[in-house]
Structure 1
């Protein structure tokens, strides 16, 4: 399957952009998409890759701001990671989310032969304060599966991925993936399209899983939740949305290094 992939484009939100996996000595985020592109370039040196994802974007914004450019480039593969930001909106409505998912997948599959979409894991497994999100996450995953089945997209299943409830796979905010988490996701994407990943990316982590106690939960609330909520309130007051002021890290198709671990950051 991968032998026909000469143009890869990734669209979506912060997980697709690569938060929280920075390149060494760089402010640029790497993430699963860069790793996938680097691995594909080992087999396909002519591979061109663009990443149009921008942190904070909802599905409707991703469609409006990223899809035209992505489809105009006539890629062989598009990967879409998005939808979680929609779940965090005030006045969230499952029927609206389902319509957005179906519309997004339908648009992509109409213009690209290989479209990859994702279910998402339950971020509340190790953080009881987030359990209210469970029904929303389940509804999003169900919508992704239905849209993929209806329109012929390929689903990368992260919802029940063994071990991904370990907090070492997540950054300090417990939402974004750590470097280890991005490598796990990259391995799953590659396997889904028939490419063997670096075996280290899905190897069990050394040591015991992190089991947070009440002190760590309180510290997480103080250092992560309160600033995030405060920022969201401030944005509402001034009429900003998350992602305003940020641009895609790799907006133009370009060749990548043939190393899965040394993909050159975008200029």
Structure 2
């Protein structure tokens, strides 16, 4: 038995769990779930890890596509993080989205799996143009907490900490965490799970830096809208998703490889 008790870890979700923003499709994605698996493996090198997440997936797709595969792998630890793609859609329904997540929680915990999830930051504090989405974020977070309580799911409460909306925690598209952000998310989940070697240092603010001038901030908003918001809206109009045609990067439970070793040889993309 390992010190933390987890030897079979499966991650379910969308682009954040896949690792978008931490690496790229050429060199491979790492991401917070990979980093959490590495944390587990530092205590027990026998840990096996699978990542079923696919970018662009809605909560209902995670339930329909990833849950059966996760149950078949018989994990003892699973992370379930989804819902942001839902709240970005015009017809977002917080109860429906949370209902899909709760069904995933129930199925996994019913099989004896320890499940962890997290709450989401107010995207309006990251991107001013997204301020109208704040009520949706709060509604989804509240429902995630309620569902988690009903099923004994561990919640990493990242939403309450100022550091999670620091621009340095986010990639240029402002939708995906940066490498630093992914590292902090992994630390937050490890802390919530009380893993050996974890702590609350992930919540510490980053060193201060000068605030941008109004002119520079406005120019940054326009550049972001042109480079990222416009193409995202175009995909929505065409009914397309960034995850179309993609499959899970790591569908089987495999040994965890420390960052820096060959991912091809050892079977861990993006490490």
So what's the TM-score if we normalise by structure 2?
0.88
| Deviating more after overlay: 6-15 vs 209-218 | 209-218
Confirm or deny that 1:222 pairs with 2:226: yes
Alignment of 1:207-246 (within 5 A): 208=209, 211=212, 213-234=217-238, 236=239, 240-246=240-246
Shift of 1:117: 1.0
Q: Please show how residues 103-182 of structure 1 align to structure 2 within 5 Å.
A: 103-182=103-182
Distance 1:204 1:90, change over 3 A: closer
Q: 1:1-267 residue pairs with structure 2 within 5 A?
A: 3-22=4-23, 26-195=26-195, 196-197=197-198, 204-206=205-207, 208=209, 211=212, 213-234=217-238, 236=239, 240-257=240-257, 259=258, 261-262=259-260, 265=263, 266=268
8 Å contact from structure 2 (residues 163, 203) kept in 1: no
What do you get for the CA RMSD once the two structures are aligned? 2.3
Q: Which moved more, 1:33-42 or 1:196-205?
A: 196-205
The offset of 1:15, in angstroms, is 0.5
Unaligned 5+ segments in structure 2 are none
Tell me, what secondary structure is at the counterpart of 2:123?
A: coil
For the residue of structure 1 that corresponds to 2:141, the secondary structure is helix
Preserved contact between residue 17 and residue 32 of structure 2 (Cα < 8 Å): yes
Q: Compared with structure 1, are the counterparts of its residues 59 and 199 closer, same or farther at alpha carbon in structure 2 (3 Å cutoff)?
A: closer
Q: Tell me the distance in 1 between the aligned counterparts of 2:3 and 2:190.
A: 9
Normalization by structure 1: what TM-score? 0.89
C-alpha contact (below 8 Å) 1:78/1:112 kept by paired residues = no
1:51-107 CA-partner distances (Å, limit 9, x unpaired): 000000001100111111111111110001101111122322223223223222212
Q: Which has the higher contact order (CA 8 A, sep 6+)?
A: 1
Deviation at 1:199, TM superposition (A): 9.1
**1:197 shift after superposition:** 4.0
Q: CA deviation at 1:207?
A: 5.2
